[in-house]
Structure 1
């Protein structure tokens, strides 16, 4: 038995080493870096530049509320990214055409920012360029997520690609955050943004040689389209009249959502600070409605359509070719807006309820409490800004990368669902480390002292008190790294390659919902009961995700056993 276990470990390391040298894995790391860099620069570091300028007040900075909104609602334009080609660039590949274009736009926007000194006179063009960078960055995120699903194979597995993507993303967060601040202190902000913009332009240029996703994902879909000249109008498909009703309802809901978000963005660009809406209030009030309009109700419509197909009602008895350009336009829109949902629900069935519940709860512990991290460190625990920067940004990012690497290994060694379950459990229980800090940190200090960590921190210039904060942050970030690697791999595994952009964007957007809604209640609880009770509560809430992971694990194991396989193929989930 020992020899078998040793051989299995060798096989795991051999497969991992082979995958890490794969060309796709290298580009996944590069694309992860490209996704994380603009996010750090436009949602964090940019505010430091505005503050240093001395001319922009906090009220005027509210104009940048639209920047975060681009990431929050990026799924709204994901159907276009799945179905529309950029003129003249289609030969680059279905995904690469959008990835490279977005990266070049980000580079151009960041570079252009370096030539503008932020002031009350230039804030309009400044915010416009920042908004363009954010929009292109959010677009890039959608397509990179789809590219990851499309190019995954037996060597560069979806699990490994998901881990490598997050490692690149976190490294970029360090470069665009801490390193950018370090450079700004020694040079100036225009130099920083010029350098970062040039770096993005180089990434965009290198992206031209990335593997083509068409080879694995889009070719099959294109072959199907060519083999079936009637497309959605062949025998056995939903009647065009019924599809038109479904498309009309879904189209109206998506149109309302796009219009609502668009109006908010335009109002956010107002030169009058008093006329600008509050982004936090908008996301907390309108965010759930947008998700209901674009995800929940369309999913119910899609489920009804799937039911019609399974019952054999309202189906075409014979092919009915499109008679006009309007018919063809309806087919195209139906493919973009409705088919991704019918495909997902058709494969998952009632298990879609489990998937949505898991998506809503898996990252809830860090999503909700993350907004209160700095008030906890600086206000409650009375650490200095420098101490928090060292513990959270430098040491914390290092611990997170270790967690991601561990998550990647566990995905290969013990499987996706066990890693997902362990990630949920440890991400939940590490909230108890912060509960200890809220009570004085006696346990964390004892652990740091007995492991020699306190001595190391003191030797490097810190004090004994800092060691317990760093110990807690290390524990949480390693757990979050494992959970993050597993969660991205899981989401990537349940979407289909033909509709990966829309399906992944829709599912990942749901993680925003509970975190946003819960922050207000959590803030009130902190005011009334203190941080200790909050950390106990978030630990208990995290256990819901653990239970759901076990249920989903059992479901997938049952389906795999029924099909005669151990686990679903990467990129797909067997139908219920």
Structure 2
């Protein structure tokens, strides 16, 4: 597509009026990969997807194989909270100069540091026996997850920084997803295949070696210079902005709430992973979730929302805003401004724009992915330990066949979005995963209903031609329905959140809202692990399906809110 400048200066001839179209599809990808930044984006996508696949999914297969109980696996899965809370330290990644490493590039220095830490973390996992030293193993897993989440922050910033006319951010994002999906296959399917033929420690050492290969890409990648002066938060120094003392108070309240929530979770994780003391009952995930779970949600969601509403109220009170430009500058003020924009300003803008409707929006975001996020980390122990499928079978069904089903679901989500509209597609995306949980409950109980549907559709005979028996067909059908459902839900939800964010805070607001989608699910994984041990998989699958009904109710409320706003807007125009 020609730029605006090209269009304005080109002579008015038929040739100029009809410029050569930009290549599409594989031709565009092939053309883009000839450029260094596009090829580097593919490597960065791989480097982001590989640790996530290894730490959030594959690691649990290792733990289940060596006999670690599901309750402990559930607690250890809380390392995924690193990805939920990564926006908290994103200002540090954005502005802090790393000693010695900073010379290689503004973003590359952080990417390189994170890759080195991940290699060391995987080596630590390989050197630790989780069956006998789960505490040390958890520390290495947490360090690796923290480095992986931080790398994601730097990679996202790099992608936006280096985008240009020839390699726009949309293309770089698509290439990133391509690399991420390749890494999902390598960290999932290939890792399981290798684990069937060699030890788990050796598998993780090989995966660390792959990250080491990507370091070559990191060193060759282009980068952007740091701005010569602070320009990101000039609006906070202009007349009409909230006075620094009130911003500091708001930031202090929100920061303390977040710190309390994180410290509470980390403290419980540490107590859960300690060696049991004779005569002292072990800590209970269910008790922790019951006693502290609501307070964690209150501290990380309700408190920031209340503070955001208060800042909006203060901005309309005399004496609470700046009357003249604030010329004071210091490293402390700069850091505080970054944190304020990351923690307070996005919700303040959202609350100001949506009013009371922000409660419905946040409720929907918190619950939309709940019914499949809670048990997702237990998929491998379920397939391998409960159902006794082999690693090769699970690798093919979950990480090869399943990824294609996810891509199909994402495509269907885009089609439904175009044909039916935003809210109907979002509602379908909320309902289908609930049905998927019932499919998995049937699979846990032998798959009688799955077999009946498979025979009715002729799938047993069809897949039998490819050598799949009834047992494998059950797994493929369950994974197909689940991945297509979550693919539709994911496509609809990403489109919804992209539309709800403000252009003024696009990156920060989207990062914050997308982080909230993992919050309740991550906390719920702890109690899910204990519940699987006590009640069995089928019962818990039905419970989580019931939890998905909350998301359906929130979607209906949001649909009503959006429809009401549309009617008001139409009446105003008339």
- What band does the TM-score fall into relative to the shorter chain? 0.7 to 0.9
Q: Report whether the alignment pairs 1:462 with 2:468.
A: yes
Q: 1:266 to 1:449 in 2, by over 3 A?
A: closer
Are the counterparts in 2 of residues 150 and 497 from structure 1 also a CA contact under 8 Å?
no
Correspondent of 2:251 among 247, 251, 254: 247
Q: Report whether the alignment pairs 1:508 with 2:514.
A: yes
Identify the residue that residue 307 of structure 1 maps to in structure 2: 313
Q: 1:66 to 1:443 in 2, by over 3 A?
A: closer
Correspondence 1:151-190 to 2 at 5 A = 168-190=179-201
| TM-score (normalizing by structure 2) | 0.73
Identify the residue that residue 260 of structure 1 maps to in structure 2: 264
Where in structure 1 are there 5+ consecutive unaligned residues? 1-11, 565-576
Are the counterparts in 1 of residues 409 and 487 from structure 2 also a CA contact under 8 Å?
yes
Correspondent of 2:553 among 533, 538, 544: 544
SS in structure 2 at match of 1:130 = helix
Q: CA deviation at 1:108?
A: 3.3
Correspondence 1:21-420 to 2 at 5 A = 22=32, 30-46=43-59, 49=62, 64=76, 67-71=79-83, 73-87=85-99, 95-111=107-123, 113-114=125-126, 116=127, 118=129, 126-144=137-155, 168-208=179-219, 223=231, 228=234, 232-264=236-268, 267=271, 270=274, 282=288, 285-310=291-316, 314-322=320-328, 330-331=336-337, 333-346=339-352, 348-368=354-374, 370=376, 383-386=387-390, 391-407=397-413, 420=426
Deviations 1:41-69 (A, max 9, x none): 23444455567779x89999899566445
In 2, Cα distance between the equivalents of 1:421 and 1:152? 34
Q: 1:539 to 1:126 in 2, by over 3 A?
A: closer
Deviations 1:451-500 (A, max 9, x none): 44212332333323543442232122112123223433544555567766
Q: 1:133 to 1:348 in 2, by over 3 A?
A: same
SS in structure 1 at match of 2:315 = helix
Deviations 1:495-523 (A, max 9, x none): 56776665344323322344367675995
In 2, Cα distance between the equivalents of 1:427 and 1:464? 24
Identify the residue that residue 9 of structure 1 maps to in structure 2: none
Are the counterparts in 2 of residues 403 and 479 from structure 1 also a CA contact under 8 Å?
yes
Where in structure 2 are there 5+ consecutive unaligned residues? 1-20
Deviations 1:350-371 (A, max 9, x none): 4433331221222123224546
Q: 1:345 to 1:163 in 2, by over 3 A?
A: farther
Are the counterparts in 2 of residues 148 and 162 from structure 1 also a CA contact under 8 Å?
yes
In 1, Cα distance between the equivalents of 2:329 and 2:231? 23
SS in structure 2 at match of 1:243 = helix
In 2, Cα distance between the equivalents of 1:74 and 1:375? 27
In 1, Cα distance between the equivalents of 2:359 and 2:539? 34
In 1, Cα distance between the equivalents of 2:39 and 2:572? 34
Q: CA deviation at 1:136?
A: 0.6
Q: 1:487 to 1:207 in 2, by over 3 A?
A: farther
Q: 1:221 to 1:562 in 2, by over 3 A?
A: farther
In 1, Cα distance between the equivalents of 2:145 and 2:403? 23
SS in structure 2 at match of 1:186 = coil
Deviations 1:357-414 (A, max 9, x none): 22122212322454676798789xx854236665445433332233235546777898
SS in structure 2 at match of 1:183 = helix
- My pick for the range that moved more, 429-438 or 461-470, is 429-438
Identify the residue that residue 3 of structure 1 maps to in structure 2: none
* Matched positions, count: 543
Q: 1:351 to 1:201 in 2, by over 3 A?
A: farther
In 1, Cα distance between the equivalents of 2:538 and 2:75? 34
Q: 1:527 to 1:279 in 2, by over 3 A?
A: closer
SS in structure 1 at match of 2:98 = coil
In 2, Cα distance between the equivalents of 1:199 and 1:307? 52
Q: 1:488 to 1:454 in 2, by over 3 A?
A: same
In 1, Cα distance between the equivalents of 2:247 and 2:55? 41
Are the counterparts in 1 of residues 71 and 528 from structure 2 also a CA contact under 8 Å?
no
Correspondence 1:451-530 to 2 at 5 A = 451-464=457-470, 466-492=472-498, 494-495=500-501, 502-515=508-521
Q: 1:59 to 1:468 in 2, by over 3 A?
A: closer
In 2, Cα distance between the equivalents of 1:143 and 1:76? 13
Q: 1:168 to 1:122 in 2, by over 3 A?
A: same
| TM-score (normalizing by structure 1) | 0.72
Q: CA deviation at 1:199?
A: 0.9
Are the counterparts in 2 of residues 76 and 258 from structure 1 also a CA contact under 8 Å?
no
Q: 1:285 to 1:168 in 2, by over 3 A?
A: farther
SS in structure 2 at match of 1:508 = helix
